[in-house]
Structure 1
Amino acid sequence: MKIFFIFFFVLFSFLVHSCLSNNMIMRTQSMRDGDVIFSQGKRFAFGFFSLGTSKLRYVGIWYAQVSEQTIVWVANRDHPINDTSGHIKFSSRGNLCVYGSVNGTEPIWSTDVLDTISEPALVAKLSDLGNLVLLDPVTGKSFWESFNHPTNTLLPFMKFGYTRQDGVDRFMTSWRSPGDPGFGNVTFRIERRGFPQMMMYKGTTLWWRTGSWTGQRWSGVPEMTNKFIFNISFVNSPDEVSITYGVLNPLVITRMVLNETGTLQRFTWNGKDKKWIGFWSAPEEKCDSYNHCGLNGYCDTTSPDKFECSCLPGHEPKTPQAWNFRDASDGCKRSNAASLCNGREGFAKLKRVKVPNTSGVSVDMNITLKECEKRCLRNCSCVAYASAYHESEDGAKGCLTWHGDMLDTRTYWSAGQDFYLRVDKAELARWNGSGSSGKRRLFLILISMIVVVMLLMIMLFCFIRKRRQANRHKKPPSTFAPSSFDIEEPFVLEELEDKSRKGELPLFELSTIAAATNNFSFQHKLGAGGFGAVYKGVLENGMEIAVKRLSKNSGQGMEEFKNEVKLISKLQHRNLVRILGCCVESEEKMLIYEYLPNKSLDCFIFREEHRAELDWPKRMGIIRGIARGILYLHQDSRLRIIHRDLKASNILLDNEMIPKIADFGMARIFGGNQIEGSTNRVVGTYGYMSPEYAMDGHFSIKSDVYSFGVLILEIITGKKNSAIYNENSNLVGHIWGLWQKGEAREIIDTLMDAESYEESEVMKCIHIGFLCVQERASDRPDMSSVVFMLGHNAIDLPSPKHPAFTVGRKRNVKNGGSSGNCPSGETGSSVNDVTLTDVQGR
């Protein structure tokens, strides 16, 4: 009998293990932490898991065929289990439940089917699509499925949207962070109102939308296709609005993820390289941001040299002054509203458009586009119309009409659809050149316009040439120090006037700047750098400005001046200093910027009385802000830019201590996929230059990464890298020595409030700093990786290799001195100063 019971126990254990190793859990079975079930084709697994180094346990579904842990669904998102005592079993009512312990009576998660399920054969089955289904295997009846309750991942063949019959709304919610799958702040769902479109929200703020369905794709997702990878099914009926992405090749492993930063990304698994490859994401560019150009404006990036925002036909800016500074947030208003609905209107056609928000449109799927136009004309409140499905198999059909203000319109190079806006006849003629007297009259009008424009250009050329000749012989006011720019000034003035005409960069008169700075008085002087002096000014309207005035003895010349004008006028980012305009007159060359009251970063981190004001949250905010600014320059802007002179004095701080990168005189523009270059003229600042740049003149995006790594270490320690420590080490070498001994915490700034930081987070930042200053450029991370590492705690960082330039060096500096913009006049602490450095070879 004893042998029999032992045999029975072993057989029973084997059977239970076998049952839990297949693709289902029977009603009479349960799962402990450590048990796993697999889908029939072993594509997906279901069970308990932890994230990273965390000991918290969750229940969910993940890819079984992918070597990198990739969770696609989580049950107990907000209720993790603290240990491995978790238990999964069916309740008496037939719900699959997760309990915190084997003897737990109250589940921490349940399938939550309201009706009692009486089927004794009830099972929970994991399909090869990654769907966990509660069903009766005899009848095939389904009671609950995980596909109806998405988390942050959309899998192929998962229905997305809502069905009115069962009241299920399938939408995505981001995780709180990569290490916390709890319900995050970002949601993505199909909008119920008006005409269907998909909306992304950050909290209650509308962040991005796909545009309306065109019959083949979402109008705001031009990359979307159903011909090669996906088989897309879209349903829009009174009972259901949903979309399903199927894959044509069952071997393709792909997923769509909504991350906590407000980005939707699609990945495909690369089995050869064993990693996920991201091939699409949104929002990606500034025109993707919801309502970027305000009410009745539209966004257009097809012309890279102009401001991306314009007013829709028949509209004009509400505040033209703001538009001159590339701020369209106030939007546009109708130019002549009184002329509408008087029988003298038509429709201006805007091509290749993501039509405005369709939440409030009127929809009629039973009329043609021509009938839609007539209906809109008969209704005085109708301001625009478009076809509902312009890419349907049987041609354009359906009618959408807008009534009131329009939001979030943009154009594309080759996607989108036609959009028709109601305007009066005069505006229509201006918009598309269609007069009422036929093509001959149009041709004559065009010829006449060309002749007039040519005459005006000749007159303007003569006027400008005469004015320049007069300016060359005109002495500057006695209050201004003369400069020596006579060769290249005509070219610079032409370029700046051209930018001014395009609305890119306003030109200020010299008298305006002189009045604002009290004739460049010493009391208004903020500091001086390689460019020249910097002055604070106040315009007549009360706006505070900072004026960089190029001096005749400047280390920067005309090339650097033109370079900064060319670059900064095209860049817009929260962490880049904003240029308001420039002044080129009477041999004066000046750049006018927003005034930042907290001056530059070096005034805070290198002075004890100010350094004490920087607790850890402020320092971390500055580090992250600088990183985001550099990432924008390297990757997210229309131009790929390498700054080449990142340092503490070139980081300015606004009144909220938000960092803004300044001084683009030494920056380089790269095109296409170019990420590196070489020069015989090494420029920069000792202590911040990467070894490959200082020694060989070879610079790349990794050169800026090196400078950023130095900045991290300086911000944490409050010390300069260029100083000497322990007789022959600079700051990097000094910290590296302590790091190897496990004593790096000793260099954390003692003036920083110890209660404001966790030591592990500061040590992580030091770790990232060392990754950035590694000697070989190829070993350093790019800025997208740096931003990711700074924003996530539960990640394993690679071990850094030996940093470059760990030994203090004497340097021969040209034009490197600076009075700075700090009251103490501390050398090296400057506003937008540039140092040209000759580095001695090793």
Structure 2
Amino acid sequence: MSAGFSRFSSLNWYLLVMSSKVLVNTQPSSSLARSCYFNMKQLVLYHNCCPLMNCKARNLFFPWLLCFFLLVISPSCSDTDTLAQGQELKDGDHLFSASGIFRLGFFKPGHANTSYLGIWHNTNNEKAVWVANRDTPIFGNSGTLRVDDHGNLKLSYSEGDSIVLYSVQAASNTSAILLDTGNFVLRELNPDGSIKQELWQSFNSPSDTLLPNMKLGIDKKSGLSWSLTSWISDEVPALGSFTLGMDPNGRNQMAIWWRGNIYWNSGPWENSLVKIFGKFDDYRFSYISNENETYFTYAVSKDITIFPRLTLNEKGEILVFLPDSMIPQVSCSTSAPSLRAGCVEQKLPKCRSPQDKFVYKMGLMSTEGFAFGKSDNLSLSDCRALCLKNCSCVAYTSTNDDGTGCEIWSKDSSFTEQYRKELRSIFIIDTKIRIWWIWMIIVCGGASTFPLLFSVCYVIWRKKKEEANRSEKMKQAMLLRELGGNAMSYTLTGKLKKRWRDQKAGPELQIFSYESISDATDNFSTANKLGEGGFGPVYKGKLLDGQEIAIKRLSRSSGQGLVEFKNEAILIAKLQHTNLVRILGFCIQGGEKILIYEYMPNKSLDFFLFDSSRKNLLNWKKRLGIIEGIGQGLVYLHKYSRLRVIHRDLKASNILLDKEMNPKISDFGMARIFGLNGSEEKTNRVVGTLGYMSPEYAMKGIVSFKTDVFSFGVILLEIVSGKKNISRSVSEHSLLIEYAWQLWNEGRALEIVDSTMDEPCHPDEALRCIHAGLLCVQEHAADRPTMSEVVSMLSKENVRLPAPKQPAFIDAGEEVPECTDDKLNNCSINDVTISEIDVR
């Protein structure tokens, strides 16, 4: 039976070889046929390389015979290697090179819903060897590649401007073709179909992979540089932090740069080519240098049975692909001397050692780390380097599931190892190697070495103290990085000392020491306490130079934390308006988190408005000025500031008054930044104060600029009436806006005006304020005006206001729960911000 199978297999191989020879000059038309054709040729080559009786490939005869029949009988297909002028290649379509070796189309890396145009090997399911739109992903499946009527090669998609790969003023009869080399070429053709000129090719814009006959170097005439740039992660093709190319300093060598700094160099070409790549028999490397160009390239033998390529990966390694293996040929992150040849030593701070290792573990950290912004465009290698260069950093990880972004932790955070699917993998520094000598001294010395043991303990204590100080400096540096501006250190050592930090130009903030703040407030005495909110207590203070300040100290029991602290510091530092409170600086020391503001001598609006003995100090003219100032501040936040901010916690207690009773909006801990094109978002974390929150926000978690408009409407009615929105003192109603609506419908709207004012209001102005306030508190956000429209309504008497509809929160039989002392954990009225409530 074995002999029979041998004879049958030999006959099969003979037929297969003869069939493939017949097909050598045949160009298959369908994608399936092309794939079969290419794999059949590869299989024949593989068969020729191994003995007939011992080669496992002989058992694959029947699948390949099926491919042969499909090849013969397959009908004409739309798949082609050419995209003609006026044609489109949509998401899901492909171009195949003539022999089916390469294909071009749209793909989605990882689990993202973003598409890229790429080229990859037709029988290799690994990542693309070339990507067109690396830093401009296309959302969804709307991508289209086309050669337009003018000969331009461009990518189009439903949401956004076209991505132009090549632009020409006018070229008729152009087409793009995918070659068997993997090169995608845009050509201008003569009327007879011959090539007139090549306009553009993908080989001139490499990604992270060098294919045979591609160039890596410099075109001296055009100034074009051929170089590879790594992906930012294994799943994201965006430009990474490593670049491989020719050394531009005139030295005939290759180099890898890491964010602009030399990371590795090959050495002179004559010796380095043989040393680095000479051991690969199937690769023939060469170095070409003449008056026109200088470049490095390679070719492969015709009978090579694998898909040859050189790749620069996201770790900065050069990979060479061999049959069934992927060999790192350059790797500066390994300890193998053969792979590290040419690596440039990376400078580390004195607190670090080259032997410091990070261990990959699954679990969670005890505190929130510092996450770098998206604009930093950091890879995991960048994150490791940032952690190593910071003496206080003990752990790092990527912030996104696709391996991008960076979050680091300082030494005040501990790690708990757990194996749960939803937890992240974190790289923890292994300190066992660094402290083994301490334990050796303790064990070996015994009781006879007590003085030495005492010295060691003192050194450890001193080191921990220094590490704690470094941790504090790290926190300050992290916050300074987010603030993005100059900072002035404000310390107190017997006299005032100021020291400038060399940072980027921007808002000027002071870093206050805890000692200076404690001294300014007489150790936070109750006599200097101005009040207390959701963040914590607020104190009045005076610096040594006589400047009065307001000090907001985060309470340890507060529901707000470092996120809200940074949010407020960063926002107020970057916002500049006469009706926004001005921040002077901050303090982070130990468990203390403190914000320092300009001092407002007249405290907050509710201090006057809701106190029977002080509200008469607010005459009508001052109330109108306060309304106008709050409105102008909100218009700036919503429309004119560079951040476009929704406050989310606007209320009378967050409106501060200066010595001229001008209003200043404060407390941005709950604020939310919107993009330039954003209109609304949904959040599961609802923050704010009952009575001021819009219904769609309080009940559905939908936040928009109209959320602040609703709060402003409530404050406007409170200023006019002198009464709180939620109060038992508003007639028989629970809500001021409900009472105002009833009076409006009955034609008695002016009865809501505060009667305790020393001078009467102007009736037309009061009616316009009430009218605008009711428009602001409409139940549906779409019915509310924008803040720009509200300011226009209040300032222009000739502007005709639309009739208001029934406001929100009015329902027969519905009562707003009264907040008593035993319910303050679930309810807040004016004074205390709710950090988080559940959405109904």
Q: Which of the five TM-score ranges fits, normalised by the shorter chain?
A: 0.3 to 0.5
TM-score by length of 2: 0.41
Structure with larger Rg: 2
Q: Which has the higher contact order (CA 8 A, sep 6+)?
A: 1
Higher helix proportion (structure 1 or 2) = 2
